[in-house]
Amino acid sequence: MKRLRFYMSNTDTIHHESLYMVIAKWAQDAGMKGCTILSGVTGFGSSSQLHNNKFWELNIKHPVVVEIIDEESKLKAFVHEIKSDLNSMGKGFLITLEPVDILMDIQGAP
């Protein structure tokens, strides 16, 4: 199993929607095993600007990570499928693929 991570800002949009929500919807439509959206406290990317998330500043730019866990072949096919949409955004982001060891996988009720 592998973990696919998309690093972006909470202000990044695509098709007039939050990029992180669109990626999560695409992942669900593609039948991925699971997806989690993580909101970062602080971080910086290739722009080298440090952004943070202060709870009293709701409109501030902060980092967001979308994690998807599934088989490597499915994750690579997923990235290939959405790559042209992501490239059309004109925003900076990072995608990583790394091994993950699943120690427990108990499914709950829907």
Give the whole-angstrom CA distance, residue 39 versus residue 8: 10
Containing structural domain, residue 70: 2-47+59-92
Give the whole-angstrom CA distance, residue 6 versus residue 91: 13
pLDDT at 57 over 60: no
Q: Is residue 97 part of a domain?
A: no
pTM: 0.83
pLDDT at 48 over 90: no
Q: Is residue 103 part of a domain?
A: no
Q: Bigger pLDDT: 51 or 76? A: 76
Q: Bigger pLDDT: 4 or 110? A: 4
Q: Bigger pLDDT: 34 or 90? A: 34
Quick one: pLDDT band at residue 53, thresholds 50, 70, 90?
low
- What is the domain-level CATH number for residue 23? 3.30.70.120
pLDDT at 56 over 60: no
Based on the structure, what is the number of domains in the chain? 1
Q: Is residue 69 part of a domain?
A: yes
- Report residue 64 as tokens: 């967001």
Q: Bigger pLDDT: 58 or 11? A: 11
